[in-house]
Amino acid sequence: MLLNAASARAQGVIVPGECRRCPPISLPRPLPLPRALPIKSIKVDAKIAGQVATTHVEQVFRNDTDATLEGTYFFPIPETASITEFAIWDGDRRLVGEVRSREEARRIYDEIVRRQRDPGLLEYAGKNLFQASIFPIPPRSDKKLELTYTQVLKAETATVSYRYPLGTGQNLASIGTVSGRVEIEGREPLRNIYSPSHQIEVARGNSGSERMTRVSFESTSGREPQDFQLFYTLSKDDFGLTLLTHREPGKQGYFLLMLSPKDNLTEAEYAAKDVVF
């Protein structure tokens, strides 16, 4: 369920808790729990048609403790997005997750923040949050979740931007392998496909159409990853032109200007020219 707020820029996490549904066991001392379960892997598969993006994410979490845990899953949803599917894997079984009502989701989140007083969790406050209960999380095992959401992408001067949140804030949870694939189908030819955050591979569709392309990326760094950002321009012109600007308050700004010709220029269309800045 969604919690109304501003746009989200953080990764989904599972906040663990002691299992209240399990048979009681005697322990010499309280079980130490991680702030959030480590994320073993993330796979992102997005399809963009026009300016409508459907993102399917598969996350694998790891319970390294010796106890069965319950957890609360939080995923900050991008602005204008809506959840279309959510599933939890229990071994080989794919199950529908337990989704709380809006009011109960807010109450549970506030209770966890008050109990843990965690600055990383506080970064999730005031965002559009999808929340679900995760049970059971067996000891020394993985827990796989799937989430699909749809959103309308923003476009400025024919340049469309797509972002997938990968940070967790304050290093709340370690993240292992991250891989992603984005398939784009435009109503006009695609130009200037660019990511300022990741090294990407760009492959045109099998038919060589300028309106279809596939972008992929992969990261194995254990450091806090950057959000994945992707820009592309829609243009029927011989050359696509993209201008990206950035300026922080009190500092000098900078810009990035990209020119991209169409793929099927003939030799007769090439001409000597001067470019002046």
Cα 141 to its chain centre, rounded Å, is 24
Domain locations in the chain as residue ranges: 13-269
- Residue type present at position 135: F
Neighbours of 153 (CB within 10 A): 17
Q: Provide CB contacts within 8 A for 195, sequence distance 6+.
A: 215, 217, 228, 229, 230, 231
Bond before 78 cis per omega within 30 degrees: no
* Dihedral sign of CA atoms 241, 55, 142, 224 in order: positive
pTM reported for the whole predicted model: 0.74
Give kind and range of the element (H or E) at residue 203: strand 201-204
pLDDT for the residue numbered 213: 94
Superfamily covering domain 13-269: tricorn interacting facor f3 domain (2.60.40.1730)
Tokens describing residue 14: 């599972």
pLDDT for the residue numbered 267: 59
Strands of the 141-152 sheet, one edge to the other: 93-96, 82-90, 141-152, 52-63, 39-49, 175-185, 212-219, 201-204
pLDDT for the residue numbered 246: 62
CA-to-CA distance for 178 and 222, rounded, in angstroms? 10
* Per-residue pLDDT tens listing for the chain (277 residues): 333 333 344 678 898 877 776 666 555 445 566 778 999 999 999 999 988 999 999 999 999 998 888 888 888 888 778 888 899 998 899 987 655 555 665 676 667 656 654 444 444 555 577 888 888 899 999 999 999 999 999 888 788 999 998 876 655 678 889 999 999 998 888 888 999 999 999 998 766 678 899 999 998 765 567 889 999 988 775 555 556 666 777 777 766 665 555 555 555 555 666 766 6
Give kind and range of the element (H or E) at residue 120: helix 119-122
175 bridge partner residues: 39
